[in-house]
Amino acid sequence: MSWVAVARKDFRDAIRSRMFWALAIVFGLLSIGIGGAYGYFTDELARSVPANEAGIGLVFFVQSPITIFIMFISAIICHKSIVGEWEQGSLKLLLSLPHTRSDVILGKIVGRAGVISVPAIGSLVLGLGLGAALLGGSVLTSVDFLAVAAGFLVAILVYIALYVSIFVGVSAITRSSSLAVAGSVALIVLQFFWSIILSILFILLESTFDISGNADWMYLLRMLMPNTAFNEVLNASLSAMTEWPLSANAGDIDAVYASPWVAAVILVLWIVVPVAIGYWRFESADL
């Protein structure tokens, strides 16, 4: 259980840095800004919907910018977690004590996930609370809203675990900080351009093969990125919790594989595979 000590040290070191406080403040402002703006600018028509629906709209309004922000923050905070200490030599210090290398990787993941989770959850509670209060009526006390908001916070913790795991994995795979930066940036850029890449791919395939009849398999390709897979699972889970009609992408497609469960499996693979490769590389490496 030595990873607990590593995680605690990593977390303690982080919260003593200015970087952490800058992160917490930006996170708080962003969350309060977005939540508050939604609550403040929602017009009368939108306000007239039932309280639970207004509240759920708020959660989804906050979701997209916050998740993208978390993705960036995770990259910044995690890409050097292993390779940076490797280059500086402080990894030798940590591993001169009786910690295993898996203790170090797991400890880093848990520690850095904590570093992001604490300001993330704090800020979201404030932001959603403020937004719901501004929406007025009974939104803040609507059971549906509270359930969806709680579900969303749990989902955000999963999302943080996802990206911290990916970027710590990248950090353990690479042998230099600059490669870790390149790898992390490449993954983020790929996600932003994924739908465009798929569209181009689709056009190319369409002009070559006769596939016009059925393109359901595109669903699987779309789900390959961690963000799309996460959103699919989140939408499916939240719509299962409420009467709100947020069907997941899979809902429109009639194929066995078009299921949020497939997206869930892809999500788990993203949490496990990069870090597993990182562990495999790091475990037997010369420091």
Q: How many CB atoms lie within 10 A of CB 275?
A: 25
Region from 4-12, 122-130, 193-201, 217-225 binding other proteins, contact rule CB under 8 A: 4-12
CB of 110 to other proteins, least distance (A): 16
Instruction: Please give the residues from 70 up to 89 whose contact with other proteins meets the rule CB under 8 A.
Output: 85, 88-89
Which residue of 47, 99, 222, 281 would you call a contact of other proteins, by CB under 8 A? Answer: 99
- Joined together, the tokens standing for residue 14 give 């982080």
Q: Does 95 contact other proteins by CB under 8 A? A: yes
Q: Does 175 contact other proteins by CB under 8 A? A: no
Q: How many CB atoms lie within 10 A of CB 285?
A: 11
Q: Does 102 contact other proteins by CB under 8 A? A: no
Q: Does 283 contact other proteins by CB under 8 A? A: no
CA distance 133 to 53: 14
Nearest to 205, CA basis, from 215, 193, 190: 215
Q: Does 213 contact other proteins by CB under 8 A? A: no
Coil, strand, or helix at residue 180? Answer: helix
User: 172 or 250: whose CB is closer to other proteins?
Assistant: 172
Asked if 236 and 250 touch (Cβ cutoff 8 Å), the reply is yes
Residues 6+ apart with CB under 8 A from 267: 158, 162, 226, 229, 230, 233
Q: Does 176 contact other proteins by CB under 8 A? A: no
Q: How many residues bind other proteins (CB under 8 A)?
A: 23
Which residue of 97, 133, 190, 204 would you call a contact of other proteins, by CB under 8 A? Answer: 97
CA distance 100 to 36: 46
Q: Does 96 contact other proteins by CB under 8 A? A: yes
Residues that bind other proteins (CB under 8 A): 2, 5, 9, 12-13, 16-17, 85, 88-93, 95-100, 284, 286-287
